Structure 1
Amino acid sequence: MTTTIGYARVSTTDQSTDGQVQRLKEAGCSVVRTEKVSARTREGRGELSSILDFARPGDKVVVTKLDRLGRSTRDVLNIVHELELKGAHVQILDPAISTEGPMGKVMLTVLGMVAEMELGFIRDRQRAGIEAAKAKGIYKGRPASLDRQRIVKMRSDGVGATEIAKAVGCSRAAIYKILNEGK
C-alpha cells in the first residue's frame, strides 16, 4: 500500500502552515507533516526526518514549493536521493514537477540551482543595502538586548555564568560571548 505524504514547512513560529496544508490535502495527501523550522540545514527538522525514515516503495512526498523541502540544491538532491533509495519519489505542486521520471529530476536540479542562486542575490542586495545605510549613518545594527555592564558586574561579583544567564534571561553561551568580548 502506497501513501501520499504532504510536507509543509515555514521558517518562523509566527508564520502559518495552514495554506500549505490545505493545498496538500487538496492534492490527495492522506498524511501531512508540518514544522516550523528553517531549512538552512536538516538539523531540527524532525518531521522531515520522520518522513525519510518511514517512506516505503511507491510512496510520494508532496510539497507545495521546492524551497519548502530545502534551501540548497545539495540538500534537496540528497533528500530526493534518500527517498529514491527507498523507492519513493517527490512531487512539487508549484511548479508541477515529479521525480518519478528523468525529466523531473533534471528540472528539480535546475530549479534548485536557480533558487540557490537567487538566495545568494538576495543576501548580496541585503548586504549592499546595509552597507549603504551604515555609510549614511542610518543603520546602527540590532540594538543590544542584554545589559553588558550588569553581566560583567555580576561576574566580577563572583556570580557564575549559569546564574547570570537565569537572571538576565538568556543562554550561558550568550553570557560567555559577552564576557569574552573584552579579552
Structure 2
Amino acid sequence: MKVGYARTSTFDQIAGLEAQITLLSAVNCERLFTEQVSSVGEREQFQIALDFVRDGDALVVTRLDRLARSTSDLLGILDRLEAKGVALRILDFGGTEMDTKSPTGKLMLTMFGALAQFERELMLVRQREGIERAKREGKYKGRAPTARRRLPEMRLLSEEGLTPPEIANRLNCSRASVYRLLKEDAS
C-alpha cells in the first residue's frame, strides 16, 4: 500500500498543501495524512502515518523537506521505516524519484539529507552575518511582531469557545502569545 504524507508549515500555504495532495493522489496513494504545522512542531499526523504503515508499504512524500528536519531526524525516520519493512519514496528528488528499497537509494538519500542540512546551516550563518551588518549600518529594524496582528482572529476564536492552546495551534503562534494578548485585550 502507498501511504502519502503532505505537510506545509503554516495555514497560509493552502496551495502548497493542495499541490502535494494532488501529486500523492496521482501516484495512487491509498491513504493520505496531511497537516499544516512547522517541522519543528509536534507533527501528529506524521506520527500517525508512521504508526499506520506496515511491512511491504511505502511512505510517499513529495519532497525531502516535507519529511525531515535534519540528517539525524532523516536517519531516525529511515531506521523506523526499515524496522517495519516500509520503503520511503520521494517524488521530487532533484528532478528524479527516490526509493529507499535499494542500497543506492538509501546512500543517495543520506548524502542529500546531509547536504540539505549543510546548506540550511550555511544559509543561517549568512543570514546572521547580514543582520549584524544591517544593524551596524542602522538599517535593521527586526521583524514585525506577527502574533499581535492576529489579535482580531484570536478574539473571534476565543469568543467561539476555543482555548488558548487551540487558538495557538490554529493560528500557528505560541500559546504564551495568545494568553498574553488575550489578557492584555481583556483589561
User: TM tier, shorter chain?
Assistant: 0.7 to 0.9
Could you list the per-position Cα deviations for residues 67-87 of structure 1 after superposition, in whole angstroms to 9, with x for gaps in the alignment?
110120110111111111111
Structure 2: runs of 5 or more not aligned:
149-178
Q: Deviations over 1:34-71 (max 9, x none)?
A: 1111223xx51011100111211001000111111012
2:183 aligns with 167
- TM-score norm. by structure 1 comes to 0.76
Q: Does 1:79 align with 2:77?
A: yes
1:23 aligns with 2:39: no
Deviation of 1:164 after TM superposition, in Å, equals 6.4
Unmatched runs of 5 consecutive residues or more in structure 1: 147-162, 170-183
1:54-133 superposed matches below 5 A = 54-95=52-93, 96-133=97-134
What TM-score, normalized by structure 2, do the two folds share? 0.74
After the TM superposition, list the runs of 4 or more consecutive aligned residues in structure 1 that deviate by more than 6 angstroms.
none
Matched AA of 2:108: M
Aligned to 1:37: 37
What is the percent sequence identity of the aligned residues?
A: 44
| CA distance in 1 between partners of 2:182 and 2:121 (Å) | 38
Structure label with greater radius of gyration: 1
SS of equivalent residue, structure 2 residue 46? helix
Contact 1:6 1:33 in 2 (8 A): yes
Matched residue pairs, number? 151
- Aligned CA-pair RMSD: 2.2
